[in-house]
Structure 1
Amino acid sequence: MKNAVALGLILGLSIVLLYLYQDGYFDKVEDDYASVALPETVDYNFHIKPILSDNCYTCHGPDANKRKAGLRLDIEKNALSELPESPGHFAIVAGSPGKSEAYRAIISDDPAEQMPPPESNLSLTNYEKRLLRKWIEQGAAFEKHWAFIPPEKKKVPTDTSSYLKNEIDAFVGSKLKEKGLTFSPKASNDILLRRMALDVTGLPPAPELVDKLMSEAPDEMLQRAIDTLLASPAYGERMTQSWLDVARYADSHGYQDDSYRTMWPWRDWVIHAFNENLSYDEFLTWQIAGDLMPNATKEQILATGFNRNHPITQEGGVIQEEYRTNYVLDRTNTLGKGILGLTLECARCHDHKYDAISQKDYFGFYAFFNQVNEKGIQMDAVQAKNQKFFADPPYIGISAKDTVGVLSFVNMNGSNPVNVMVMNDSAPKTTFVLDRGEYDRPTDSVLPGTPSIILPFANDLAKNRLGLAQWLTDRKNPLTARVLVNRIWGTLFGRGLVETSEDFGVQGSLPTHPELLDWLAVDFMENGWDIKYLIKKIMLSATYQQRSELTPELEKADPENKWLARAGRFRMSGEMIRDYILATSGLLNREIGGPSVRPYQPEGLWEETNAGSERGVLTSYVPDSGDDLYRRSLYTFWKRTLPPPSMTIFDAPNRDFSEVRRQKTNTPLQALVLQNDVQILEAARVLAEKMLNDGGKDNLVPQLFERILVRSPRKEELLTLTAYYHDALNTYGSKPKDAEKLVAVGDYPHLKTDPVSTAALMLTAQVIYNLDETITKE
């Protein structure tokens, strides 16, 4: 019977679809789409290149080995030239779609002529075909890829609105007007304080800071809040957390043995560099080539640990040259993704299929990193406790000696030496283009160099990493400043002006506000590559200070918030969530710098990922004790084969390679962590004990709420939570043993409080910690 009903439904649906098809319904849908108005002027970069890249470049793009019919459509000269296999015919004829063979093939219904061919499963919509036609009619003007054109400050749109605070708002407001949208109202000061604190420090604002700032005039308050937060040592930690993903930092080597290394002094340097507001051009130069700078300091040498953060094999029997090649490839790829915002790795084995970067260009970059003396890189590093490398002033009581790529620090007070891997070039080495990217298949030799399509490598630059760093930070380099500005914007808004912050190439996303991105990039460079200046500039804009509410109108018009008619609202990272909970509970150890620590971790996981106990690998996981359990997540020991579980559940990468943009998922495991993780339960318990120990019995729930969320609860929230608290009091009042068992969680010393009251308030705190608002930056 069921099968008969199902068959009937299928037949009925088929008849309806056949009727609609015969009636021309689908033709009408296509015709409706085809009637969408074309832009007055068709722009090559923003309208045409995405069509060609998605549908044509695989066979007619930069990769010469895969190119068919000798036709290349990504270069103007080639696209407008006579077809090699069809003399007298041209792929594109400016002003004449009918004579343009490429266009004729695209609109053809003949499978033998149609492009893209039917077997490719690619096709253009009528709208895209109309765009191509109009572009050809308008002269088929080509442009260099937008990201390879040096940014310029375009004229700031004029708007007399009193709501606009700076140039950012003028650009955003102009785009909103174009889209029929307007700015959202300004957020309340308490929301802005929390937002700014999370963005700048990764932590909620301290209650005393909130009380102090809220008493000032609104405009003065926001200015002072930003300055105070940027001056906080926690700012350097917040910025470093993101840079560790880019730099693929870990406390272990990776691969099967995954033994341990000591690179945390480099992490200390990064924190120090951000807190000292080292300009971004210097920040990059020191990390790329600090050891090659004239009279290099120990700080500059230490900074080059950036290039040695990659995985390193410790296994016996491996082919050393194969893995040495992999290390150089890793440094090259990290430069591409992390600093230039390009998928350079796609050109390792062949010419890039989409971006005009050849395999020779790739190995020109590779050559800069191919001179490194790898001796000493597989060292057994010493884990030394209780050392710091940056105090005020830096390097108090520390001496350093550079020996064959290993920087050895010795504390004058008698602690063990700490060895850190750094850069140290050996005698010049000839670099070859590797056939298919294989270490044992060298072909033509190549000198250090960069793709001319980005920026030619000037003759007066040294052909070493220092010359590369100067090329990267040249004001004419079109990528470096844009990529950093976009990444900062993405940190503050949850989405970059270029969504694919790791890929500014042809296949990457187009900028939603190209004029704004360019204006900010130039302004950033004009103001000394000052990251704090950039952050403050954005935060003082009306764009940043909007409410984040997604109204039904905005959900329909701009669900992804591309056009910025509201502030960003998104879940915090796993590290920020943990730090937030530790901070609001009073558990957070705010010590800056030092060796990595081991907080709580589920039993058994560590053992499952261990290959053995050689080379100092711990066979079992032993959490630290005392204050080390409550240090910021930035300092958590990062083992490549087992990154911190509570952070990976919230999408932290394993750091095997450079990562610029973390994915954002929403899974039941995340809710289970917030409900059951020992660290979170302990934080709720400690917070409850402290509040009860302070002598408070009245207004505990509103105080608890305000302490966690930095605002007063609304009436309905207070009623719900108060009822929950009293229900818990009644439940545990009849089951005191259960209360004692619940509050026993965690190693932090207990205060003398009633277990029943503690359990009830602890569970209420846990509920608040599990609220969407708590783990969300809005």
Structure 2
Amino acid sequence: MKQKIGIVAILVALIVLLYAFKSGVFNSAKDDYIGMVLPNKVDYNFHIKPILSDNCYTCHGPDANKRKAGFRLDVAEDAHSELPENPGRFPIVPGKPGKSAIYEHIISDDPDMLMPPPDSKLALNSYEKKLIKKWIEQGGKFEKHWAFKTPEKSKVPNTINIEWPQNEIDGFILAKLEDRNLAPSPKAGTETLIRRISLDLTGLPPKRKVVDDLIKNPSDKLLEKVIDEFLASPEYGERMTQAWLDLARYADSHGYQDDSYRSMWPWRDWVIHAFNENLPYDEFLTWQLAGDMLPNATKEQILATGFNRNHPITQEGGVIQEEYRTNYVLDRTNTLGKGILGITLECARCHDHKYDAISQKDYFSLFSFFNQVDEKGLQMDAVQAANQKFYADPPYITISDKETEDVLSFVKLEKGKQINVMVMNDSAPKTTFILNRGEYDQPTDSVLPGTPETIYPFPEGLPQNRLGLAQWVTDKKNPLTARVFVNRIWGMVFGRGLVETAEDFGVQGSLPTHPELLDWLAVDFMEHDWDIKYLLKKIMLSATYQQRSELTPELKKTDPENKLLARAPRFRMSGEMIRDYILASSGILNREIGGPSVKPYQPPGLWEETNAGGNRGILTTYVPDEGDKLYRRSLYTFWKRTLPPASMTIFDAPTRDFCEVRRQKTNTPLQALALQNDVQVLEAARVLAQTVIGEKENTREMVDETFRSILIRKPSVDELELLETYYTNAWADFDADKQSAEKLVVQGNYPVAKTDPVKTAALMLTAQVIYNLDETITKE
């Protein structure tokens, strides 16, 4: 009987579903677009272009090879011209949607006439059709892509609430909130705010004294002083460098099958030095793109060009050298596009870009700037003398007057020995050809070095080499460079850029949530001489940045992704920051700046699994370092491309085989297991417990001190009581099993202090619980 009832229920459900599909119930939300109201003024860039790009550009876009019916919808001239295959008809007739061919096609009931065609699996909803109709009624005007317009500094909006804004940023944010009848969140508490600032500027938790001083004397002036102190600390350069390494695809190995050792860490040290010295961003880019071409180039400027050498390099025998040489040049070109210009240039390698107005000729014209380099490179002999750090005084680097070794060879990292660092060195001019389908062995027409006209024409008088390219990139009229960088900084601080697709400012990229603010920040940044520290301080002194992160029911309903920033963001830290946070809060972090990469703890056998064999033996077996090298910042952890550090890849670190601007953010059980069982976490908990036991006497004081050491803030009464109970229960268990306690308190290589093993084990587990809290690994 039950089985029959079940079958009937299933049949009824299927009938209901079939009726729903036939009646369009499931399409109603899409068709009505959740009741959205048409804007008074339809904006081409923000309303129309995304529709055309998603649905029409595949057949009627920039790619001439895929274009159908002989016309395109991405440029006004074609869209307003007579259809080649249908004389007397026009795609768009300004003011007259009924006579416009595209509108006739998108509303047609005839499958043979409907656009996009049914077999494309694309379709416009009713709201999009109404938008296009209203746009045509208003003249059907085209505009240059928003990101390709030179940014302008618009007036800061007036707001009803005049008390809340603390600087110009708040005016733009608040105006949009008020448009939606939303109010900003209250200011975050002092402990939370200082922790937030410290994490953003140093990647480390703040020291207790900094927090206590501000609690005793809270003031905006003192807060500004704290920001200045963080910006002036050497840890600031490390924090900023960590964010740059993904983009620069830095690694300590060459990649590919052999994946043997390379010595690029002096370039990494230069980046730390550049950030700490607050090298203006335009110079920061120029040195990396073309430092060797500057007049009377210094050793630092030449070393900076290692940026262009960070790509994978094969050492395999029997490869076609020209094929791989071409791949290296392609990598530099793609990195320029994705990392610095925020454009998917690589899409134009094989054919004209399908969405952005970048042709294959444009791509290989940019390619030409990087195609002149001698791939064997120029050797740099870096001698790191004892007790001298690269970041401190001028770098102790000399340039070889001859190549003493092949650029792909490796040498030991030994004190006082020669270190070979790959840098740029253009050879005799090479002719660059457009490659059919992007294949190295299918050259077609030759091209000269140049840049896409649609982005910004290459000014007359600039040299047609990498130095000229760098000057084009950093020209204040270039619409992308400053926009892309301030957006990346915003994303670093807020977890999401004003343009979410930080790597793609093109037609298929996300639209900015606050376009006027993005442009204001870009222009302001350039007006202040590309000063990175100024930009960060401006953001952190805003009321927007200083809000609480609490998610209220109203905000969850109206803005669940926090795009409007009515509250501060809350997101998990990177794998590197989590490890550094644990080391610092436990007191075992080695704060030495710069130097060769180190090998902290790693599960045994991982490198052996990826070995191809015969790669000179240097990277076949992972041997962890000893002593304080185990506790260096994660920035210095040895990075093997075929198997990056496991503790970081678990938390979404990329392989660094190519430029990455934005890391994924996943939430997996493996992450929780790593935090519970990683020897580095257990060791840190043990050392912290032993330190606290040596300073505090009773249980409540020990638990309170452990909590504050990790989370910076004071625990609530409930939190303290809960953790105190946990400690007491753990103590009772270990007191009954002292052997387990003695086994636990020797985790890691850090010296074991002479403390009661039972008390230590109990407090160690209490610390581990706190380390595993969501609050600990989250920036809020």
1-structure distance, mates of 2:410, 2:292: 16
Offset of residue 617 of structure 1: 2.5
Separation in 2 of the partners of 1:414 and 1:221?
43
2:381, 2:399 within 8 Å by CA — same for their partners in 1? no
Q: Report the CA distance between 1:18 and its aligned residue.
A: 5.4
- Matched position secondary structure for 1:361: helix
Distance of 1:182 and 1:248 partners within structure 2: 41
Q: Name the structure 2 match of 1:188.
A: 189
> Which amino acid in 2 is paired with 1:455?
Y
The question of whether the paired residues in 2 share the 8 Å contact of 1:349 and 1:437 is answered with yes
**Partner SS for 2:616:** helix
The amino acid of 1:609's aligned partner reads T
Q: Which region of structure 1 is more displaced relative to structure 2, 3-12 or 198-207?
A: 3-12
Partner Cα distance (1:179, 1:65) in 2: 45
> Which of 737, 762, 767 pairs up with 2:764?
762
Q: CA shift at 1:272, angstroms?
A: 0.2
Which residue in the other structure is 2:775 paired with?
773
Equivalence for 1:242: 243
Instruction: Give the letter aligned to residue 729 of structure 2.
Output: D
Report the more deviating stretch, 711-720 or 605-614: 605-614
State whether residues 385 and 415 of structure 2, in contact with CA within 8 Å, keep that contact through their aligned partners in structure 1. no
Q: Alignment RMSD, CA only? A: 2.3
Larger mean CA deviation between 89-98 and 9-18 belongs to 9-18
Q: Are the aligned partners of 2:598 and 2:636 in contact in 1 as well (CA < 8 Å)? A: yes
Letter in 2 for 1:15: I
Residue 399 of structure 1 corresponds to which residue in structure 2? 398
CA distance in 1, matches of 2:442, 2:267: 35
User: Given residue 775 of structure 2, which amino acid in structure 1 is its aligned partner?
Assistant: E
Q: Which residue of 2 aligns with 1:716?
A: 718
1:272-314 deviation line (CA, Å, top 9, x unaligned): 0000000000000000000000000000000000000000001
Moved more, 35-44 or 534-543: 35-44
Greater CA drift, 161-170 or 399-408: 399-408
SS at match of 2:87: strand
Q: 1:271, 1:37 → 2: CA distance?
A: 50
> 1:178 Cα shift?
1.2
Check conservation: 1:265, 1:389, Cα contact below 8 A.
no
Q: Is the alpha carbon distance of 1:560 and 1:394 closer, same or farther for their aligned partners in structure 2, counting shifts above 3 Å? A: same
Alignment of 1:565 with 2:573, yes or no, is no
User: Aligned partners of 2:596, 2:585: CA distance in 1, in Å?
Assistant: 24
Q: CA deviation at 1:71?
A: 1.5
Residue aligned with 1:89, SS: coil
Residue 143 of structure 2 is matched in structure 1 by 143
Give the distance between the partners of 1:141 and 1:512, measured in 2 at CA: 23
Is the Cα contact below 8 Å between 2:386 and 2:415 reproduced in 1?
Answer: no
SS of residue in 2 equivalent to 1:234: helix
- SS of residue in 2 equivalent to 1:90: coil
Letter in 1 for 2:778: T
Pairing of 1:646-661 with structure 2 (within 5 A): 646-661=647-662
Contact 1:34 1:126 in 2 (8 A): no
**Alignment match, 2:68:** 68
Of 620-629 and 413-422, deviating more is 413-422
Change (3 A) 1:28 1:559: closer
Contact 1:184/1:547 (8 A) holds in 2 = yes
Distance 1:410 1:277 in 2: 32
* 1:259-278 correspondence to structure 2 within 5 Å: 259-278=260-279
Whole-angstrom distance in 1 between the partners of 2:602 and 2:619: 14
Residue aligning to 1:744: 746
Deviations 1:373-428 (A, max 9, x none): 01258x99999896855243222x543436569699999x9810111000000000
Q: 1:537 is matched with which residue? A: 538
Q: How does 1:69-148 map to 2 (within 5 A)?
A: 69-148=69-148
Change beyond 3 A, Cα 1:730–1:343: same
TM-score by length of 1: 0.96
- Is the 2:380–2:419 contact (alpha carbons within 8 Å) kept by the matching residues of 1? no
| Inter-CA distance 389–459: structure 2 relative to 1 (3 Å threshold) | farther
Q: Output the CA distance in 1 between the equivalents of 2:316 and 2:690.
A: 50
- d(CA) in 1 for partners of 2:410, 2:515: 46
Larger mean Cα displacement after TM superposition, 552-561 or 25-34: 25-34
Please list the CA deviations of residues 174-208 of structure 1 after superposition, one character each: whole Å capped at 9, or x if unmatched: 01111221100000111100000000000000112
Cα gap change, 1:737/1:347 in structure 2, threshold over 3 Å: closer, same or farther? same
Q: 1:222: how far off?
A: 1.2
Give, in angstroms, the shift of residue 725 of structure 1.
0.2
When normalised by structure 2's length, the TM-score is 0.96
Q: Write out per-residue CA displacement over residues 640-685 of structure 1, whole angstroms, 9 at most, x where no aligned residue.
A: 0010001000000000000000000000000000000010000000
8 Å contact from structure 1 (residues 387, 594) kept in 2? no
Match of 1:315 in 2: 316
- 1:15 shift after superposition: 3.3
Aligned to 1:16: 16
2:598 maps to amino acid? V
1:167 deviates by: 0.6
Of 79-88 and 301-310, more deviation after overlay is shown by 79-88
- List per-residue Cα deviations over 1:488-534 (Å, max 9, x = no partner): 00011000000000000000000000000000000000000000000
Q: 1:98 to 1:703 in 2, by over 3 A?
A: same
Q: For residues 761 and 281 of structure 2, what CA distance do their matches in structure 1 show?
A: 49
**Correspondence for 2:152:** 152
1:561 CA displacement: 0.3
CA-to-aligned-CA distance 1:567-616 (integer Å, 9 cap, x gap): 01000000000000000000100000000000000011111111124334
Which residue type is aligned with residue 400 of structure 2? K
**Structure 2 residue runs without a partner (length 5+):** none
CA distance in 2, matches of 1:712, 1:34: 45
Partner of 2:346: 345
* Structure 2 equivalent of residue 207 of structure 1: 208
Change (3 A) 1:316 1:626: same
C-alpha spacing 1:389/1:84, structure 2 compared with 1 (3 Å): farther
Q: Is the 8 A contact 2:540 2:546 kept in 1?
A: yes
CA contact (8 A) 2:383 2:397 kept: no
Deviation at 1:470, TM superposition (A): 0.2
**Cα distance between partner residues in 1 of 2:676 and 2:629:** 23
Asked if structure 2 preserves the Cα contact closer than 8 Å seen for 1:401 and 1:407, the reply is no
Partner secondary structure for residue 456 of structure 1: coil
User: Would the aligned equivalents of 1:768 and 1:774 in 2 still touch at CA under 8 Å?
Assistant: yes
**Structure 1: stretches of 5+ with no match in the other structure:** none
> What is the CA distance between 1:21 and its match in structure 2?
6.8
In structure 2, the residue matched to 1:429 is 430
Counterpart amino acid of residue 151 in structure 2? P
Q: State the partner residue of 1:445.
A: 446
Q: In 2, are the aligned partners of 1:688 and 1:758 still within 8 Å (CA)?
A: yes
The separation in 2 between residues aligned to 1:613 and 1:76, in whole angstroms, is: 59
Identity of aligned residues (%): 71
Q: Distance in 1 between matches of 2:421 and 2:38?
A: 58
Q: Which amino acid aligns with 2:334?
A: N
- Judge conservation of contact 2:151–2:519 (CA < 8 Å) in 1: yes
Q: For 2:238, give the aligned amino acid.
A: E
Q: How do 1:521-532 residues align onto structure 2 when only pairs under 5 Å count?
A: 521-532=522-533
Q: Any conservation in 2 of the 1:385–1:595 contact (CA below 8 Å)?
A: no
Other-structure match for 2:356: 355
Question: Quick check: 1:409–1:417 contact (8 Å CA) kept in 2?
Answer: no
Cα distance in 2, alignment partners of residues 393 and 94 from structure 1: 65
Offset at residue 161 of structure 1 (A): 1.4
In structure 1, how many angstroms separate the alpha carbons of the residues matched to 2:491 and 2:386? Answer: 36
Conserved in 1, the CA contact under 8 Å of 2:31 and 2:127?
no
Q: Quick one: structure 1 residues 116 and 605, their matched pair in 2 at CA, closer, same or farther if it must change by over 3 Å? A: same
Distance 1:73 1:23, change over 3 A: closer
Instruction: State whether structure 2 residue 594 is matched by structure 1 residue 588.
Output: no
Pairs within 5 Å for 1:378-527: 390-395=390-395, 397-401=396-400, 403=402, 415-527=416-528
Give the conservation status (yes or no) of the 8 Å contact 1:407–1:420: no
- 1:635 is matched by which residue type in structure 2? Y
* Deviation by residue 1:127-152 (Cα, 9 ceiling, x = unmatched): 00000000000000100000000000
Residues 1:122 and 1:193: Cα distance change in structure 2 (over 3 Å): same
Pick closer, same or farther for the CA change 1:316–1:95 going to 2, 3 Å.
Answer: same
Q: Distance in 2 between matches of 1:213 and 1:250?
A: 40
User: What is the alpha-carbon distance in structure 2 between the residues aligned to residue 235 and residue 454 of structure 1?
Assistant: 33
Whole-angstrom distance in 2 between the partners of 1:634 and 1:26 = 50
Is the partner of 1:182 in helix, strand or coil?
coil
1:204-244: CA deviations, max 9, x gaps?
A: 00112222333334212210110010001000000000100
